[in-house]
Amino acid sequence: MSTPRLSDTSYAVLGLLDLFEPATPYQLKQIAQVSIFHFWSIPHTQLYTECARLAEAGLLDERREESGRRRRVYRLSAAGRRALREWRADPNTDLYELRDPGLLKLFCGADPASLAETQLERHERRLHSYEELLDQTDMSEGIRLSLESGIGHEREYVRFWSRLRERRSEKR
């Protein structure tokens, strides 16, 4: 069986299962909502299709529940662990794709000061939630470092939107 082309989403699924196996796609969605969705979005339906695709390729082992909803439960196979290990060992990555609706509105001519009010509040709230998560001691180094990066990004957004809000005060 040849290994299919693996996308970043494929590796996200493999990585989540490595940390939280066994899991159903629904459980992966719940886990992703409080972890990687802070910096990596995946359409929920894609988690289901990607798990099935990876299982068909031999990278995941699939077990079907015998009764009830007969959900599919996945674990990494030996081939999946090997693919994940090789991907982790490769230091090359693309730069991230920034998709910020607030910045898009700003670019397209929205009033910077009024937009700043809402954006500042949202980024302060997210920063606070990230800092609270960082206070939890039970996390891997990779999770902690990713969270520290998110905190740095949010601090920069707070600085940026605060500066735009202050411009409004100076113009009065």
Q: Mean pLDDT, to the nearest integer, of 8-31?
A: 93
Given the structure tokens 């601090």, which residue do they identify? 155
Q: How far apart are the first and last CA of the chain?
A: 68
For 8-89, CATH gives 1.10.10.10
The candidate with the shortest Cα–Cα distance to 59, out of 76, 84, 34, 45, is: 76
Q: What is the pTM of this model?
A: 0.77
Above 90 in pLDDT, residue 6? yes
Residue ranges of the chain that CATH labels 1.10.10.10: 8-89
| Structure confidence at residue 140 (pLDDT) | 85
Confidence at 118, pLDDT banded by 50, 70, 90 = very high
